[in-house]
Structure 1
């Protein structure tokens, strides 16, 4: 039996439910903040494209489409707008003629970091109302969750 917190038993199942409640809420907040700050300069899918390419340099258009959950044609149109703004460099893969390789340009990296910085500042403002101990608890919990998810992200689920 697990510990109790706020009349709830703390179990891995209850914790998983809390993670699944909290992460979408956090993502909605981040998307809304990005949308409000960049409504005229960049869409959320474009921001997600820059972030994906930052984590996955040299990704293909198919990789990007899969990440965004869209067709290759939609990913291509999205990428074209970023290429025109000099945020993304697109070139054919010399080894595979039909594969397109995508990378962030310096301007794309700068723009991505500016967007991330603005949203980090907004989240920081919200966290300012918490005690130092509460902030430490959030930081420790997020660090642990990140480690667990990273350690298991490549393993297929057990059946």
Structure 2
């Protein structure tokens, strides 16, 4: 095989930049509190993974059917199968997060995820620079969990209680 006969296996710079942009924007949206933005982040990362599989699969070739295409001219069917699987997984995850966002909207009127009471307690301990190795659950707490819940600040600024 001479240098003229070799297939160019380097991916297009535009595709690499598009994959990077999809991953960066998807991860940014995953870190938001709104389930709708998290859903869009999942979809963007799923599309980035699909594009990454196709770029990693190499150059396009003939159909991978024995007898119709020479073995050196066949395309690799594995990336196509992986993309199909990734599409199904992304669809299932999208349906799940969409159902969670809809249920949150029904119950609270918004789809933002709130801090957990245990998370708030850990933040208070970290602010006091208290050691985290003490078993605080074994100690008696002066206020009940209902009193702690009443003190919890609603991130959305609404009074739905």
TM-score of the superposed pair, with normalisation by structure 2 = 0.24
Greater RCO, CA 8 A, separation 6+: 2
TM-score of the superposed pair, with normalisation by structure 1 = 0.25
Higher Cα Rg, which structure:
2
